[in-house]
């Protein structure tokens, strides 16, 4: 079926795409193919508009912007949490937009990691993003616990994937809490959060998931699966902008706990301005806020989330799988003799990107950028390519593979050093 490897076939897929209209919602640089939305999503026109709305509220209302205007700032964290809840399969009371990935993990560990003589260890994995591991080690050190002894990390056999049986085997009686990614940031492997949670709870272990590479890409069911906690950033698939305020989920059965890191925005709204030195802790997810919300960093999410609520995660997930499947088919056909290996899951347990392994990965990424394709290099030899459902096309995928084929055939990558830049 040679036809499926032609540009015409890609254009036909784009004509049939029910989400095609949303590409026009984003600022697309016509001279590039942007495939790094799993690191930083593109700016949408709706996000730009809501940034301006928040600025106009500041301009118009001054201090009264906290309670006046279309999006009063005092309630914005909770309002955005309500909009985000359907994306993670949670009730509105269980989700809030606050902090950042690492700050929110620190809050969860400070609140819910309660080591005892018999259950004091934290279980993580060796493939997780470094910031999560730094936070866990920091929390252990603050309690006078040696990370070498009290942090247990599940090993990977190939450096790209985790076996869920290996995770479960590490759930020994001395494990108090588990911190795992929902999606491995290099390979895009989706972990079975439902199974892991069930097995952990059988052993009286709490579970927290890092959703940074899944939110806006795959549709979990956190409440239904009885996940304890989750935390994430909002600048990748959700297109919230660089440094966008993060998000947090706490299962409602944990409400009523006093936050480990307390601040005045964790107070009940009706009591916060009583200025009492005895905190009236909010009896919902709001309790785990710390300080004043970063309103200007939350503003883009007001517009960005509206598209996700219109489209629904099922449609986004379906197109994402189609894009990555098409990508892999083209790579196998066009680049089979160029030394590439696909290291992402080949079935539907992959998230929103593919991972190409090549010994010349860093210099290939540099060549791709010069040729107008924006990839993402991951040390030591990985090229991540993320076609995003809301703004990438099947033609983008076809063009990328043709450009990559030319780079390899003409050895264009040899012009560059095989080492990463300061920011990879």
Residue 131 assigned to a binding site: yes
Note the pLDDT of residue 2.
Answer: 53
Matching residue, tokens 């809501």: 50
Give the 3-state DSSP-derived string for the chain, with helices as H, strands as E and coil as C. CHHHHCHHHHHHHHHCCCCHHHHHHECCCCCCEECECCCCCCCEHHHHHHHHHHHHHHHHHHHHHHCCCCCCHHHHHHHHHHHHHHHHCCCHHHEEECCCHHHHHHHHHHHHCCCCCCCCEEEEECCCCHHHHHHHHHHHHHCCCCHHHHEEEECCCCCCCCCHHHHHHCCCCCEEEEEEECECCCCCEECCHHHHHHHHHHCCCEEEEECCCCCCCCCCCCCCCCCCEEEECCCCCCCCCCCCCCEEEECHHHCCCCCCCCCHHHECCCCHHHCCCCCCECCCHHHHCCCCCCHHHHHHHHHHHHHHHHHCHHHHHHHHHHHHHHHHHHHHHHCCCCCCEECCCCCCCECCCEEEECCCHHHHHHHHHHCCEECEEECCCEEEEECCCCCCCHHHHHHHHHHHHHHHHCCHHHHCCCCCCCCC
pLDDT at res. 3: 82
Q: Are 93 and 284 in contact (CB under 8 A)?
A: yes
User: What pLDDT was estimated at residue 281?
Assistant: 94
Residues whose CB is less than 8 angstroms from the CB of residue 148 and which lie 6 or more positions away in sequence, other chains included: none
235: annotated binding-site residue?
yes
pLDDT tens series, the chain, 424 aa: 458 899 999 999 999 999 999 999 999 999 999 999 999 999 999 999 999 999 999 999 999 999 999 999 999 999 999 999 999 999 999 999 999 999 999 999 999 999 999 999 999 999 999 999 999 999 999 999 999 999 999 999 999 999 999 999 999 999 999 999 999 999 999 999 999 999 999 999 999 999 999 999 999 999 999 999 999 999 999 999 999 999 999 999 999 999 999 999 999 999 999 999 999 999 999 999 999 999 999 999 999 999 999 999 999 999 999 999 999 999 999 999 999 999 999 999 999 999 999 999 999 999 999 999 999 999 899 999 999 999 999 999 999 999 999 999 999 999 999 888 877 7
- 49-311 CATH fold: 3.40.640
Q: What is the pTM of this model?
A: 0.96
Residues 413, 363 contacting (CB under 8 angstroms) = yes
Q: Where are the domains of the chain?
A: 2-31+312-415, 49-311
pLDDT at 264: 93
Q: Is 32 annotated as a binding residue?
A: no
- Is 165 annotated in a binding site? The answer is no
39 marked ligand binding residue: no
Is 292 assigned a ligand-binding role in the annotation?
yes
In 3D space, the residue among 230, 279, 226, 231 whose CA is nearest the CA of residue 253 turns out to be: 226
Burial class (CB in 10 A: 0-12, 13-18, 19+), 29: exposed
| pLDDT recorded at residue 421 | 80
Residue 94: predicted pLDDT = 98
Q: Is residue 264 a known part of a binding site? A: yes
Of 3.30.460.80, 3.30.950.10, 3.40.50.20, 3.90.1150.10, the CATH number of 2-31+312-415 is 3.90.1150.10
- Is the previous residue joined to 380 through a cis bond, with omega within 30 degrees of 0? yes
Does the annotation place 132 within a ligand binding site?
yes
Q: Bridge-partner residues for 308, per DSSP? A: none
Domains 2-31+312-415 and 49-311 share a fold: no
Whether 129 has a binding-site annotation, put simply, is: yes
């Amino acid at each position: 079926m040679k036809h499926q490897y032609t540009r015409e076939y890609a254009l036909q897929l784009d004509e049939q795409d029910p989400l095609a209209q949303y590409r026009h919602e984003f600022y697309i640089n016509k001279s590039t193919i942007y495939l790094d939305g799993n690191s930083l999503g593109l700016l949408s026109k709706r996000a730009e508009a809501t940034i301006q709305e928040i600025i106009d509220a500041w301009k118009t209302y001054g201090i009264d912007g906290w309670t006046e205007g279309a999006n009063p700032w005092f309630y914005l964290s909770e309002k955005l949490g309500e909009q985000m809840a359907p994306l993670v399969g949670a009730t509105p009371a269980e989700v809030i937009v606050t902090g950042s990935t690492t700050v929110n993990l620190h809050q969860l560990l400070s609140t819910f990691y309660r080591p005892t003589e018999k259950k004091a260890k934290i279980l993580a994995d060796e493939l997780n993003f470094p910031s999560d591991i730094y936070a866990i080690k920091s929390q252990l050190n603050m309690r006078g616990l040696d990370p070498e002894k009290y942090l247990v990390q599940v090993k990977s056999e190939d450096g790209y994937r985790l076996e869920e049986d290996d995770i479960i085997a590490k759930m020994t009686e001395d494990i108090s809490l588990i911190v795992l990614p929902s999606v491995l940031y290099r390979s895009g492997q989706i972990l079975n959060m439902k199974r892991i949670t069930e097995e952990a709870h059988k052993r009286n272990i709490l579970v927290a998931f890092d959703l940074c590479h899944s939110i806006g890409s795959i549709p979990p069911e956190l409440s239904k699966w009885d996940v304890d906690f989750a935390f994430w950033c909002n600048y990748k698939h959700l297109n919230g902008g660089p440094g966008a305020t993060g998000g947090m989920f706490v299962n409602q059965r944990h409400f009523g706990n006093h936050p480990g890191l307390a601040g005045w925005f964790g107070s009940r709204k009706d009591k916060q301005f009583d200025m009492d030195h005895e905190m009236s802790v909010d009896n919902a997810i709001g309790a785990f806020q710390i300080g004043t919300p970063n309103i200007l960093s939350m503003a883009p999410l007001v517009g960005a989330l509206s598209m996700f609520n219109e489209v629904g995660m099922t449609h986004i997930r379906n197109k994402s799988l189609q894009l990555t499947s098409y990508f892999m088919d083209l790579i196998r056909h066009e680049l089979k003799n160029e030394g590439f290996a696909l290291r992402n899951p080949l079935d539907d347990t992959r998230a929103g990107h593919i991972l190409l392994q090549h010994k010349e990965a860093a210099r290939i990424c540099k060549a791709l950028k010069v040729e107008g394709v924006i990839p993402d290099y991951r040390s030591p030899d990985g090229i991540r390519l993320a076609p995003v459902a809301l703004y990438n096309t099947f033609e983008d995928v076809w063009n990328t593979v043709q450009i990559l084929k030319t780079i390899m055939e003409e050895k264009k990558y040899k012009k560059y050093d095989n080492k990463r830049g300061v920011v990879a």
